[in-house]
């Protein structure tokens, strides 16, 4: 899950406080919080991430390793493998891994034709990591980079 | 985070120059700098781009500037008239603005766009007249614009008509909506796996960019926010 998707996910888990509420609690301007969730590239700095980690009751490292991962990274991987005869694996936030060939992708999802012939429409925000079959997962998780 | 005025001064720009570069009126820039008004999202983006900084580096609401002491408050200093020299001494030394080297994010994005266009790094030499490693931030930004324009030109005409959309597939949601429309037309059943690994099965009643509404076998309708969905299958009869 990219850093922006992860922040949206954390906010949803906290029952969706608005940006102003989080801003009041953390001191991070609401505009920055909004951009961090909506932009395709990483925004914010270490200080902001630490404040958010405290707010969401997480180890800061969990936000640090994801911070380098923007939505663009998955886009470029999907671009590389879509429409080609390339088998790709996607590790999902649910704990399962789906494998198949990417047929198309767009803003929110992508189509994965699995080996059994079924076509899964996978929501992009649920993808934790990915790889071409047989290669290491990207991006590496926090514990691997530490 | 820094005040807009401080960043502008650091970059050696006048309010008028920044207005010209960013497209934000000088009047509005002055208001933002005086801290009277919070910088809205659109203007923040334009100003950051014009100043070559990240949006988050600019304080949304600037601190009001500290007024200089009034003349009567200043200690009296004897005025010494500087001896006049030749014409040249009147001129200010020309400020040399050093533009920092390209950012890692710019390098990465350039490499990706080159890959998207099936070009290698030698193309940088041709387009920017310099190797990638020697570009500064401004040159990298110009190169990125050139590459984006190149991508735009390669795209079909129909997509160009909607200029507000990005050109990469990331900017559209029509594939999924088309897919769901086909599911509706074929009276298919949707098997949806949610984030918590639970499953919802039903026929599609309606859908939009953010939600899906299903009717289960007992006739009950449930609306699911797409954020709660992990993946789904359309099971056609």
Contact B169 A106 (CB under 8 A): yes
Partners of A93 on chain B (C-beta within 8 Å) are 195, 230
Which A positions 78-117 lie with beta carbon below 8 A of chain B?
A: 78-80, 92-96, 98, 104-109, 111-112
The pLDDT score that the predictor gives to residue A143 is 45
* Long-range pairs of A79-85 with CB within 8 A, sequence gap ≥ 24: A79/A105, A79/B116, A79/B168, A79/B169, A80/B115, A81/A132, A82/A110
pLDDT digit string, tens, across residues A28-85: 988 888 888 877 666 778 889 999 999 999 998 888 888 877 777 888 888 888 877 8
Q: Where are the domains of chain A?
A: 3-69, 72-134
Closest chain B C-alpha to A127 CA, distance in angstroms: 8
> CA nearest B39 in A: which residue?
A31
Provide the 8-state DSSP code for B74.
S
Check whether B162 has a pLDDT greater than 80: no
The answer to whether B226 contacts chain A (CB < 8 Å) is yes
Report the CATH architecture of A72-134: Roll (2.30)
Which B positions 23-42 lie with beta carbon below 8 A of chain A?
A: 38-39, 41
Annotate A82-136 with DSSP letters as a single string: TTSS--EEEEETTS-EEEEEEEEE-SSEEEEE-TTS-EEEEEGGGEEEEEETTS-
Contact A108 B226 (CB under 8 A): yes
The pLDDT score that the predictor gives to residue B80 is 58
The pLDDT score that the predictor gives to residue A144 is 40
> CA nearest B231 in A: which residue?
A122
Q: Look up the ipTM and state it.
A: 0.77
The pLDDT score that the predictor gives to residue B36 is 82
Helices (H), chain B: 4-10, 15-22, 26-33, 41-51, 104-116, 122-128, 137-154, 157-160, 174-185
The pLDDT score that the predictor gives to residue B236 is 78
When CB atoms are compared, the residue of A8, A45, A75 closest to B56 is A45
Give the three-class secondary structure for B214: strand
Q: Does residue B203 or residue B97 have the better pLDDT?
A: B203
pLDDT digit string, tens, across residues B76-123: 655 656 556 555 556 676 677 788 888 888 888 888 888 888 888 888
The pLDDT score that the predictor gives to residue B106 is 86
Which A positions 47-76 lie with beta carbon below 8 A of chain B?
A: 48, 71-72, 75-76
* Residue A50 backbone zone (phi > 0: left; psi -120 to 50: alpha; other: beta): alpha
The domain defined by A3-69 folds into 434 Repressor (Amino-terminal Domain) (1.10.260)
The answer to whether B104 contacts chain A (CB < 8 Å) is no
Delineate the domains of chain B, giving CATH numbers in brackets. 4-57 (1.10.260.40), 104-160 (no CATH), 174-235 (2.30.30.100)
pLDDT band at B161 (very low <50, low <70, confident <90, very high): low
With a pLDDT cut of 70, the percent of chain B lying above it is 80
> CA nearest B108 in A: which residue?
A73
pLDDT digit string, tens, across residues A97-144: 999 999 998 878 999 999 999 999 999 888 988 999 888 887 765 544
């Amino acid at each position: 899950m990219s850093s922006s998707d992860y922040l949206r996910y954390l906010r949803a888990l906290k029952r969706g406080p608005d940006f102003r509420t989080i801003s009041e609690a953390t001191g991070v301007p609401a505009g920055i919080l909004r951009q961090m969730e909506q932009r395709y590239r990483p925004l914010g700095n270490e200080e902001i991430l630490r404040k958010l980690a405290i707010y969401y009751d997480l180890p800061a490292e969990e936000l640090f390793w994801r911070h380098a991962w923007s939505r663009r990274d998955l886009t470029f991987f999907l671009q590389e493998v879509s429409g080609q005869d390339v088998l790709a694996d996607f590790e999902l936030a649910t704990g399962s891994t789906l494998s198949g060939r990417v047929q198309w992708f767009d803003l929110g999802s992508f189509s994965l034709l699995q080996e059994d012939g079924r076509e899964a429409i996978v929501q992009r925000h649920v993808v934790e990591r990915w790889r071409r079959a047989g290669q290491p997962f990207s991006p590496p998780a926090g514990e691997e980079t530490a | 985070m820094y005040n807009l005025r401080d960043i502008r001064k650091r970059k050696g720009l006048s309010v008028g120059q920044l207005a010209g570069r960013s497209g934000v009126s000088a009047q509005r820039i002055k208001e933002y700098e005086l801290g009277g008004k919070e910088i809205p999202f659109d203007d923040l983006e334009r100003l950051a781009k014009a100043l070559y900084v990240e949006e988050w580096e600019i304080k949304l609401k600037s601190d009001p500037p500290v007024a200089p002491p009034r003349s009567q408050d200043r200690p009296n200093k004897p005025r010494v008239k500087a001896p006049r020299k030749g014409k040249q001494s009147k001129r200010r030394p020309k400020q040399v603005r050093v533009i920092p080297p390209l950012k890692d994010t710019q390098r990465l994005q350039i490499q990706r766009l080159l890959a998207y266009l099936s070009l290698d790094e030698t193309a940088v030499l041709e387009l920017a007249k310099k190797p990638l490693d020697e570009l500064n931030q401004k040159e990298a930004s110009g190169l990125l614009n050139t590459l984006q324009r190149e991508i735009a030109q390669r795209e079909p005409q129909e997509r160009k008509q909607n200029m507000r959309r990005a050109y990469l597939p990331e900017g559209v949601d029509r594939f999924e909506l088309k897919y769901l429309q086909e599911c509706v037309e074929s009276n298919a059943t949707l098997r949806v796996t949610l984030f918590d690994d639970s499953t919802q099965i039903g026929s599609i009643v309606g859908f939009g960019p953010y939600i899906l509404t299903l009717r289960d076998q007992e006739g009950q309708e449930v609306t699911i926010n797409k954020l709660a969905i992990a993946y789904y299958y359309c099971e056609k009869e």
